[in-house]
Amino acid sequence: MTEVIINLFIGSSTTAVILLIIFKYILDHQRKIEHWTAIFYQKLYDTIPIIRSKVDSYTVASSIQDSVNGIFENLNRQAPDVLPHPLKIEWVKSESPESFIKNGKAVVRLKHYVNQDRNIVDATLLYLNVGLLPRAKSYLDRTLRKSCESKVAMQVFAARRDTGAHAYFIENELDPAINGDAKFKQDWQMLENLDSVGFFTRVFLTEVKQTGEKLLGTMPTPAIQQELRNFGEFLQTIANKGEKEEVPLTFNGVKVKVTVVLVAKKQTIESYGIVPYIRRISRRVREGYESIYISGWGEEFVKRIIEIKNDIEGKIVTILRRYDYPIREQVKAILLVCQSNLSYLAQQRKLQDELRDIITAHVPEIKNNEIEIVRLARIKGIGSRVIVKWSDKDVNVSFIASQACMGRDAVHLKKTRQELFGERLYFHEWTEDPKELIIRCLYPLKKSDVASIDLNHEKNTAIITIRDIEESPLLWRNQYNLTLAEKVTGWSIEIREMT
């Protein structure tokens, strides 16, 4: 694109430079551009009645996208990557709406109605159906998943007080679901209770997402769905506890291992200070709890938790995030999201950071930020798969990024493998086509070996049918390689033989 602009204005270097600056600004501030576009359409709609019918659909689409994407940015600050894909709306004439992930966005296609509140509600719910927890949603049972989507949707509609979407959602979606499904009503109340103390997004959705990371590549089972439900009920008990009531503060599941440290007893603080809490955190880490949430509300307890943070950070646990927020009539609350340095996810991060550092040291194009590492996955002692792309999509090179990472005569690859003590290492070229990306990351499987590949965006699964399983590379029989392909692409992959 840059070269095209320069060629068009070859006779005016000043104009070309200005256009390049504008073009770069648009790329760097896409979110702001969308926001001001939404305002522009709304003003146009309000002030020029004669063209309302023409700009109406653009106004609504831009407005919905702006609101939802703004809320998703805020939600991702509370629970990173629970909504990794921004919303894009496409109006169609079909009565059958659909939503799917394409080019990094959650695309929603639906019919545009005269009732704008319905448009906002329908688009938001369709978006959340594919956009919320895309790698982990299948590990929630259907009712709890619907409750989570409805709870997040409520935040979007509550932020749109300029419309009737909030009331429309309650009347047409929420109330019928609560009145018609006792289990949904129970789940909704549970999530409301969690949200009352700031636990819904910051704790519950965070643990669901992390469970999806741990189980990536495996099919959901009733057992894990029940475990996540039990975890929600565990958090609800804490959220509803009375001032002097004793409740369980540890959850030791198969995949979810969480302890909550409530700093809430004045007598303990006055008699012993923060020492008992630090000892408790150390004991929970030794007992194998992976996630530690340190929580309290009220000025005195917030102050003490900050003291605890300063004492344990980098020693006993890794503090991932700190949240300061109001609850219950603007009472000041604090939550520290911590992870044991011995946990599975902490170890995975350590392995990935080590691999990233080694690759960067031996591949000049990555060190110079010319090539970007999009994703990587590693099993120590076995191997790694790394997806890369040129940082500048318009860069004029005669070879692809994955080839550059290997170097002439594979010199970069050899040096990197040597430092990894011989672990296998594959570089794969990034593509926005999920089918093509999956096949690339299953190398040495060839595209010609594949008869079909079927994606289920709902369950995040890929079923690959092989033409001749005896003649094709036996990659899928090596579970480690298949696991790496699943981890780096984010898809659960099943290999079948063509019958």
Predicted pLDDT at 30: 56
Architecture, CATH, for domain 257-339 = 2-Layer Sandwich (3.30)
pLDDT tens, position by position, 204-231: 999 999 999 888 767 889 999 999 999 9
State mean pLDDT over 253-257. 93
Q: Which residues contact 436 (CB under 8 A, 6 or more apart)?
A: none
The answer to whether 372 touches 391, Cβ cutoff 8 Å, is yes
DSSP symbol at 49: G
Q: Is a pLDDT exceeding 50 seen at residue 1?
A: no
Predicted pLDDT at 33: 57
The structure tokens 């469970």 sit at: 211
Cα 273 from Cα 390, distance rounded (Å): 54
**Window from 39-43, 182-186, 343-347 with minimum mean pLDDT:** 39-43
> Which tokens in the block code for residue 172?
């047409």
Predicted pLDDT at 314: 76
Strands 331-340 and 317-327: antiparallel
Cα 130 from Cα 111, distance rounded (Å): 18
Query: Going by CATH, does the domain composed of 346-497 fall within 3.30.70.1450?
Result: no
pLDDT tens, position by position, 261-296: 999 888 888 889 999 999 999 999 889 899 999 999
pLDDT tens, position by position, 34-91: 556 555 555 555 555 544 545 567 777 887 888 788 888 888 888 888 998 899 999 9
> Which tokens in the block code for residue 75?
């939600």
Cα 152 from Cα 175, distance rounded (Å): 16
Chain-centre distance of CA 432, in angstroms? Answer: 17
Q: Is a pLDDT exceeding 70 seen at residue 119?
A: yes
- Compute the Cα dihedral for 82, 85, 89, 95 and give only its sign: negative
CATH 3.30.110.20 spans which residues of the chain? 257-339
pLDDT tens, position by position, 131-168: 999 889 999 999 999 999 999 999 888 887 788 999 99
Burial of residue 220 (CB within 10 Å: 0-12, 13-18, 19+) is buried
pTM > 0.75: yes or no: no
